[in-house]
Structures are given as C-alpha cells and as structure tokens.
C-alpha cells in the first residue's frame, strides 16, 4: 500500500496560514495594509496582551460589499489583481489574497463593514474561512476587523510566542514604520488601553517625522532628493550626530511599501564609516519610487523582501544620492592657515 495521502482541507489551510501569520505583528501588518489599500484616511489599531488575545483595526475606507464578504475570507481571493501580469503593475500593498483567509484559520475573527452606497452595515463572525453568522447593523463607512485568541487551535505555535511585552514592541515597531511612510493617513495606536501614537494626516514630511520620532531625531536629518534612470529617491538621512546601535531606524519604502533590504542599508552605511563610531548605524527615511515592472514583490508571503531587475542602477542611484547629500550637510570645523 502506498504511503502518500492527500492532506485534509483544514490541515492544508493551517499549514498555509502559518506561512503568512507567524505572530501577532503579521496580523497587524496585513490588516493595516488592507486598510491602506481601501483608501482609508483614518486607521485605528488596538491591541491587548501583545496582540495574542485581541487585535482590532478600524478604518474609514471603501468597505466590503455584502456579496464579496464570503470570498474575502477564502484563500487566493483578492480584488487587487486578476492576472500574473497585474503583479508587475501593482501599486497596492496586498495582492496574494491570503491574509484574511489565513487569519481566520488561526484565530477568531469578527468583521464589521459598510460601503458608501450600502444602506446598512454588516456584522459577521468568521471561523476557518467560513462566515458563521451575519447580521445587518448600523455602522459608519469602512471596515473593522477584530481578531481574538490567536493560535487557539495551534497550541504549539502559541507556545512559541514571546512575552506580551516583546510581541507588543514588535507590533509598535511595524505601526510606527507604516505610519511614518503614510503622510496622507492618520493613525491611532492603542496598546493595552493606552493611546501610544496619534498622527495627523497631510502634514509635511518633516513635521510628520517630528510627531512620530521626536525632536532629537528630526532635527538631525538632511533632506535627500535625487532622480536618475527613472528612479526617484527622496526622504531624509541622518547627519553625523544621529546614529543608533541597531538598524531599527532605517526606514525604506519602495513605491510606498515598507521593506527590509540589507544591501540598501549597506550602501548607505558605507558613507558614514568615517563619520560615526564603530558598530553604530545611521538613520534614514528613504522613499524610492520606480517602475513597478522592475521589481518583484512576490518573493515571500510577508512581502517585506523585494527583488530588483536592475540592481546595479538602484544601488548606484542610492550611492550617488547619499554622497551628494551627506557631505555638504556636515558641519566641518574650520581649520586652515591664517591669511
């Protein structure tokens, strides 16, 4: 008798969900991205116990239509793309159609949503990708997702979660990153019943940075703005007075998407070697806008890594931009011979 068996659907879904939802911060990130994709202007994020027991994300965006609600929680269902070609034109943060399905397979989900032309809103309870109950409610336009008891059905995963404090800090980190990268949306972040971040929309970038990262940070930045090969790079880089012991204050956004990229970090750090102490890292908030067909965002389910078609151009543009901006900005002590 053969040994190979087809896995049952619940097991398949749980395995797939584990790839997208590693920990509470994955849920928060996916939900905020959905809110941004839905053209929201105001997003509130609330967490309790490091997001393990409770996560709520409320937005005032487009909402989900009644007839779409079922599909929204099915794997590989998305309103953001229909062919593989679309992937290389994509401007939205989501495209895999996996987040809501995954979340509903590893936690208890409740959704409230209303589109602008619907008369009433909908309140639904979702379990393992299925709408269990649905009722009409009065609610404003937009969507609220409440996610409770993460990994209640995956005890081993649950055990691997860190302390509430560590998980909360990781969530804060991602909320700050997304808030920083989105000038036109206001964010409110409530952590264990305390409002810890509140941003206003439509400020200029410098004021926005000040409101999120504080005075010391924002007063030691130099503006960067550079364009070559159709790659536009703009934002702020630190001067020689601002550095940190890790890379947590290196913010990189490609076409609005927050990403991690050690090669970009290294390219920038090279210019600081003689300016800041050893084992310290410069800080920057860097927006890179480029033709979406020259990048691949579909490298990893969490979409935080990216592949560039023209690597060398990107790094050369970053290198030049930082060199041209950083050196003139430094306050060089005046030394020299007397006339």
Interface contacts to ligand ADP, rule CB under 6 A:
30, 34-35, 38, 59, 61-64, 72, 78-80, 94-101, 143
CB of 298 to Mg ion, least distance (A): 13
Distance of CA 1 to the CA centre of its chain: 48
User: Which does residue 72 bind out of Mg ion, ligand ADP, none, counting CB within 5 to 8 angstroms by kind?
Assistant: ligand ADP
Kindly tell me which of 34 and 218 has the beta carbon lying closer to Mg ion: 34
CB of 136 to Mg ion, least distance (A): 25
Kindly tell me which of 35 and 267 has the beta carbon lying closer to ligand ADP: 35
The size of the interface with Mg ion (CB under 5 A), counted in residues, is 3
CA distance 208 to 214: 10
Spatial contact of 105 and 17, defined as CB atoms under 8 Å apart: yes
User: Which does residue 303 bind out of Mg ion, ligand ADP, none, counting CB within 5 to 8 angstroms by kind?
Assistant: none
Which one of residues 13, 26, 34, 58 is an interface residue with Mg ion (CB under 5 A)? 34
CB of 69 to ligand ADP, least distance (A): 9
Q: Residue by residue, what is the 3-state secondary structure of the chain?
A: CCCCCCCCHHHHHHHHHHHHCCCHHHHHHHHHHHHHHCCCCEEEEEEEHHHCCEEEEEECCCCCCHHHHHHHCCCCCCCCCCCHHHHCCCCCCCCCCCHHHHHHHHCEEEEEEECCCCCCEEEEEEECCEEEEEEEECCCCEEEEEEECCCCCCHHHHHCCCCHHHHHHHHHHHHHHHHHHCCCCEEEEEECCEEEEECCCCCCHHHHHHHHHCHHHHCCEEEEEEEECCEEEEEEEECCCCEECCCCCEEEEECCEEECCHHHHHHHHHHHCCCCCCCCEECEEEEEECCHHHEECCCCCCCCCCEECCHHHHHHHHHHHHHHHHHHHCCCCCCCCCC
Kindly tell me which of 55 and 326 has the beta carbon lying closer to ligand ADP: 55
CB of 78 to Mg ion, least distance (A): 7
Spatial contact of 310 and 229, defined as CB atoms under 8 Å apart: yes
Kindly tell me which of 62 and 167 has the beta carbon lying closer to ligand ADP: 62
Kindly tell me which of 35 and 265 has the beta carbon lying closer to Mg ion: 35
Kindly tell me which of 137 and 166 has the beta carbon lying closer to ligand ADP: 137
Q: Which residue is nearest to Mg ion (CB)?
A: 94
CB of 104 to ligand ADP, least distance (A): 9
Q: Does 61 bind Mg ion (CB under 5 A)?
A: no
Kindly tell me which of 72 and 183 has the beta carbon lying closer to ligand ADP: 72
Q: Which residue is nearest to ligand ADP (CB)?
A: 94
Which one of residues 27, 45, 72, 99 is an interface residue with Mg ion (CB under 5 A)? 99
CB of 32 to Mg ion, least distance (A): 10
Q: Does 35 bind Mg ion (CB under 5 A)?
A: no
Spatial contact of 103 and 21, defined as CB atoms under 8 Å apart: yes
CB of 257 to ligand ADP, least distance (A): 12
Q: Does 94 bind Mg ion (CB under 5 A)?
A: yes
CB of 122 to ligand ADP, least distance (A): 12
Instruction: Enumerate binding residues for Mg ion (CB under 5 A).
Output: 34, 94, 99
């Amino acid at each position: 008798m053969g040994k190979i068996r087809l896995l049952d659907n619940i097991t398949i879904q749980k395995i797939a969900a584990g790839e997208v939802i590693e920990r509470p911060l994955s849920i928060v990130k996916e939900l905020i991205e959905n809110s941004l994709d839905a053209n929201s202007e105001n997003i509130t994020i609330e967490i309790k116990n490091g997001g393990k027991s409770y996560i709520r994300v409320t937005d005032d965006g487009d909402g989900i239509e009644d007839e779409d609600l079922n599909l929204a929680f099915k794997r590989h269902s998305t309103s953001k793309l229909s062919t593989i070609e679309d992937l290389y034109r994509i401007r939205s943060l989501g495209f895999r159609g996996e987040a809501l399905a995954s979340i509903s397979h590893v936690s208890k989900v409740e959704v409230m949503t209303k589109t602008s032309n619907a008369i009433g809103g909908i309140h639904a309870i979702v379990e393992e990708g299925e709408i269990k109950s649905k009722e009409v409610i009065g609610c404003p336009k937009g969507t609220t997702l409440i996610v409770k008891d993460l990994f209640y059905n995956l005890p081993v995963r649950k055990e691997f979660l860190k302390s509430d404090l560590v998980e909360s800090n990781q969530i804060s980190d991602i909320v700050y990153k997304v808030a920083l990268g989105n000038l036109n949306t206001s964010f409110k972040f409530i952590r264990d019943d305390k409002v810890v971040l509140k941003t206003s929309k439509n400020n200029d970038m410098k004021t926005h940075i000040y409101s999120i990262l504080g005075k010391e940070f924002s007063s030691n930045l130099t503006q960067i703005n550079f364009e070559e090969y159709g790659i536009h790079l703009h934002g702020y880089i630190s001067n020689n007075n601002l550095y940190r012991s890790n890379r947590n204050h290196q913010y990189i956004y490609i076409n609005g998407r927050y990403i991690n990229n050690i090669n970009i970090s290294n390219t920038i750090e090279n210019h600081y070697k003689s300016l800041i102490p050893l084992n310290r890292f410069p800080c920057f908030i860097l927006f890179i806008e480029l033709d979406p067909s020259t990048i691949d965002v579909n490298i990893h389910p969490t979409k935080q890594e990216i592949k560039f078609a023209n690597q060398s151009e990107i790094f050369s543009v970053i290198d030049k931009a930082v060199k041209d901006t950083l050196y003139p900005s430094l306050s060089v002590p005046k030394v020299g011979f007397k006339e």
